[in-house]
Structures are given as structure tokens and as C-alpha cells.
Chain A
Amino acid sequence: MRTSFVFSEVVTGLRRNVTMTIAMILTTAISLFLLGVGLLVVNMVGKMQDDYLGKLEVAVMLTNDISVNDKDCTQQPCSSLRSQLETTSGVETVVYENRDKGYERFKKVFESQPELAKLARPEAIPAMFRVKLEDAQRSDVIVQAFTGKAGVKKVDDQREDLDRLFGFLNGVRDAALALALLQAFAALMLISNTIQVSAFTRRTEVGIMRLVGATRWYTQLPFLIEAVVAGVIGAVASIGLLVVTKLFLLNRVLGELFAANIIPEVSMVEILFLSPILVGVAIAISALTGYVTLRLYVRL
């Protein structure tokens, strides 16, 4: 096999059909970009689940009466609530936090925003039990058992908030993957079409090749490589797009949340790890589409 021959055929092929080539590259790039976004979100949700589930707590907030009068949880109904919580199966620790301590913690959380911290009065913060579970997923046991009990104002399950966030992220993931699939379909048809056009414009050449005894492989390889080259360029463009999105969109909009470790940062390393996957997907799809097109639609 003469590689220089195949290479020059590929270059002329791509140049002859510039508009189609560009369309093919762009569609592939967008499709792979969306795939990349989907995979990054999957990654992010995974990390957040690991991070947060260990820290999740159920807050059993107590009535104003207790908040005012029972600083150490020695009186009824606070002390019996505590022992009930401690004996509930699956509960790991129970910490009583009275109003003063709660206020301290509140101030600490909002340290960086003193205006906000000033707005809150200690009177607005209830005393509470902070309950940590062995399995954070099973928080509804506590919610069901303690909601409405004497002395309990409200049971606040952090998992619900987190579930809402995960729900949102999973929605983003699904939308990205669905769009990626749709775009992949468009890319696929463009690749197939480009090869057919390409084969048609080169039919004289290919006819002569077959006549002088070139193998099917030799006549078809340039078309196949053409598709794969466009696919790889598309993949590289999609990686570029991901990097640009990180630098100019994510870092600006979510930078503070990344810094505060509230959302795990989408790092360059992650994008780097993703690149071979995207390139691989591009090669696989374009080669397969090319091969099937040549077999089914192009009589060479």
C-alpha cells in the first residue's frame, strides 16, 4: 500500500468538497461536545454524591418553647425526643444544637457576607437536633417518625434539597446526551452523503483503478480515511469547545461555587481524560458509517 498515494487522494477529496467537509466537521464537533458535557455531568454528579452523602444530616427543628427555655435539653419533651432519636435504628449520631450555637454557626457560614449575617436575629433560629444517619438515603424514616411530634416544629431533610439539585443535573445530562444523539445522527447522514458525493465525483478515477486491477480495499480506503480524518478534526474541535466553555463560561459563572467547594470543579484534567474517548467515538462512528455507506450505496 502506497501511503503517499492514499494521503494525497484524501487531501484532494476533502478539499474538493470544502462546504460538505466543514458541515461534517461542525456537526461532529457539536455532537461530541454535547456528549462531553453529558459525560462531565455524570462525573460531577458522581463526585457530589460521594462528597455530600457522607455529610448529609436531618435537622429535627424544635418549637420556640424549647428553643427559649431548654438550653441543654434536660427537660421534657426535648430529652425524650433525644433518646427516641438515639434509639432509632440507623441513626449514627445525634447532636443537640441550642439557639445560641445555631446562631454562631449561622454567622460563621455567612462570614463573608456580613450584611446577610446581620439580618438574622437569634430569635429566628430554632434549637435542633442534627441527626446523622448510617445511610443518608434512608432519611425518610426520621422524617416520618418525628414530623408532628410534640416539641417538633419541622423536620428538615437535606437530602431532599440535594435530590432536587441532582434532579436538575441529571436533567442537564439527559438533555445533553439526547441532543448529542440527535446531532450524531445528523453527522452520520452527512458523512454518508459526503462519501457518496465524493465517490460520484471520483467515479472516473475509481473506474480506472478497478480496471487496472486495484483492490476494492485500495479504491475505498481514501473515502474511508476522508471520513475518519473529518471525524477526528471534529473531535479535536469538540475538545477545544469544551475547554473554551470551561474557561469562559463555567469559570465565570460558577467560579465562586468551585472555589468554595460547593460544586466539584470541572477540571482540565477531566477534559483531558475525556479527549481520547471523544476521539475514539469519532473514529468509530465515521469509520463505521463510511464502511457501511461504501458497502450499501456505492458500487465501486
Chain B
Amino acid sequence: MSAPASLVVTDLRTRFGSDRVGATVVDGVTFTLLPGRTTALVGESGCGKSATALSLMRLIDKPGRIIGGSVTLNGRDLLGLSESEMEQVRGAAIGMIFQDPLTSLNPALTIGQQIVETLQAHRPMSRADADRTAIDLLTRVGVTDAARRIGDYPHHFSGGMRQRVLIAAAISCSPSVIIADEPTTALDVTVQAKILRLLHDLQGAMGASLLLITHDLGVVASMADEVLVMYAGRIVERADVDTLFHDPRHPYTKALLACVAGIEDDRSVPLEPIGGSAPDLWNPPVGCRFAPRCPVVQDVCRSQDQPLRRISAEHEAACILVEEDRMHG
């Protein structure tokens, strides 16, 4: 088991395409994951959440690359490591649950082999021990009859079961940082509750830090300590979970929260998406990227980037209104 660690990300930038035509899908992202804490990352579909997660693991595929910033795990610069050193970090120190379960599992390996492979890559372990650990892990994530199903192939599993296989593989080496990209999208609420509690307990027991990417604001509310809101490649608001839900300051955050449909709502409540459409990252607008859709937009927003402004130690938002609110009292 690795010691509790903090992962510090500073001004991370990741780009797809060439220097001339391309999209900087992660554009100056800065945050810190602290031991024992859960940080949620939310934002519009396609805003760069998965790209951020993959950048932390240095798993951005070829036409894309990390063009700037730093990622340090306990003071160790991950972006400077060689590929073989990075392989030791992946899976062992940082565990990742990928968004698309089927493409992340090897179709030619059985479910058992996929987990055993991760285990044996990082720890000397006999095959029998590894098998036993794999069965134990699968049982913990709620796969029924794990001992028998360990010999099945990924396409024999249901969507949610595949997702749980990925979760089992990610936590198999007790990583000190867990990156979970939409870990419960295919799980019904009871299994989701079980998985969330499992992650929560792991975190309590090992002091691991958790980066949780999700669209389910209910999951955010129940799991997160801190929330990062991302829009078009940038972090636009950072706050502790209570503040975020009860005193959001960025217009995008407000609009997002307004879209939540709870179980209490009935059919008469209209479905209200945020007006306008997400900016094209290959051709981003000048100034604040939310400006074209912002209900309270001002002239400066359309010409100048809005940096994150401090509201309190725990709360930042990238909006000019923060400044104005401060001036008015």
C-alpha cells in the first residue's frame, strides 16, 4: 500500500491536432487532490473532463499531447518520468476507472485475467493468490457468483458488470489516488450506492484521494468534499460542496444546477437546457468562453479572458461579477 499522497496539477494544457489547427481541450487547469478527500469534476459533455483525467495518467493518444503545465504526485513530477517509470505509477499509485468500459477491457482476455494482470504487474504474487484476490475484489463490487464468472469474457458481461470489473481492477493495488471517470453511469441506484460506499470506505481506510468525474449531481452532492466546474477546457468555479450547491457564483454553474431534474419533480416542470450551444473548441470564442450563452454577460466578457477570482479560501469563480459583488459590499 502506498502512503497517502497529494496530487498537484498546475496549469495543465492538453491539445489535439497540430499547432495551427487544433483544440486545446484542457486549457490551464489547476487543482490539488488531497489525501482522504473527494474532488468532483463536473461540466458539459465534451468540455475536457476525460482529457484531464487521461492527461494525469499520461494516456493521451498520439495525435494529442500535453503541451504545458505540471503534474506532481508527492513532489514527484509525473510529466518528467520515463514511460517505464510511468507504467509503475499507473495502476499502483494512481488507479483509473475509464469512462468506456468495453473499449478499456481487452476482448481477448477473461475477466479474471484482466484483473490478475494488473495485480501481477505491480506485485510479485502467485497465480493462485492473484486469482483469489481477483475473486474477492469482484465480490466486493457486487458481481454475483464471482468464482464462476471469472472465466467469462467481457462481452458476456452486462454493461454495469463491465464497469464494476474496471472498478475492481482500479482498486486492486490499493492506489493512493483514484481517478474515477463516470464510474457509475451503467449502475442502478442500489449498486451505485454500494460502489460509492465502497469507494468512500477505501478512502477512509487508506487515506486515498479521489477524483470523481460525473454528470450525476446527486452523486456529487453525496460524495464530494470539493467540486470543480469545468467549461470548454477551463475550470470556471471551485468550491466546497455545500457552497457550490447553495451559493454558486459562476453563471454556468447556476445554469447547470437549474437543469437538475429530481425524483420529486413531475412532468409539468419543463425540461430546460441551457440556451445556445457549447463552443467549438477548435475555434474557441475570444474572452470568457461562456459569454455567448451567458444571461448576465457584459461587454468586457466578450473581449477579455476571465481568470479565477478568489471569493474565499475555499471558493473561486471565473466571473467578472465576483469583482462587482465585492465592490458593492
Chain B associates with chain A:
no
Give residues in B with beta carbon < 8 Å to A. none
